[in-house]
Amino acid sequence: MAFDRDQRVREKRQPVYQEFRDAANEYLTAEAERLACAEAKKPTCGTTAGELQHARYRTQVAINNIHVFGTPAARDAMRAVMRTVPATLVGPSGDPILAPVDAAAFDVAIAAFDNVTCRDVSPAPEDC
C-alpha cells in the first residue's frame, strides 16, 4: 500500500518539477533576450514584452505547484533557482524593467534542482 502511494507521489511530482524547470529556463532566456535587444537599441526583438510577462506568469504558476506538490528540498532548490532570475517589474511606460541575467549562477542552481528532482521522483534515488 505504501509503495503504491510513493509511486503515485513520484508520478505526480515529475511533471510539476519538469514544468518548473522548463518555465524558469524560458523566463531566463526571454529576460536575457529582451535585455540584449534593449542594450543594442534594436527596435524589434524576438521576444516581446508580453511574451516576457507570459514567461514570468508561467514560472509563477510552476512555483506555486512546487509549493503544493514539492518536498521541502525541492522548495529550497526552487528558491535558489529563483534567486538567480531577475524579477519582472513593470515600469511607468508599462514595459518590463529589465535586469542582467547571471546564467552561470542559474546553471548551478538548476543543476542542484535537477539533483533534488532525481532524488524525489526516481524509483531508485540512491542512483542520483
- Give the Cα separation of 43 and 101 in Å (integer): 21
- Give the Cα separation of 33 and 52 in Å (integer): 9
Length of the chain in terms of residues written: 128
pTM across the whole model: 0.87
Quick: pLDDT tens for 27-43.
999 999 988 988 888 88
- Give the Cα separation of 53 and 27 in Å (integer): 9
- Give the Cα separation of 36 and 5 in Å (integer): 47
Which residue reads 505547484 in cell numbers? 65
- The residue ranges of every structural domain in the chain are 9-121
Instruction: Output 49 or 70, whichever has higher pLDDT.
Output: 70
pLDDT of 99 over the 90 cut: no
- Give the Cα separation of 59 and 84 in Å (integer): 13
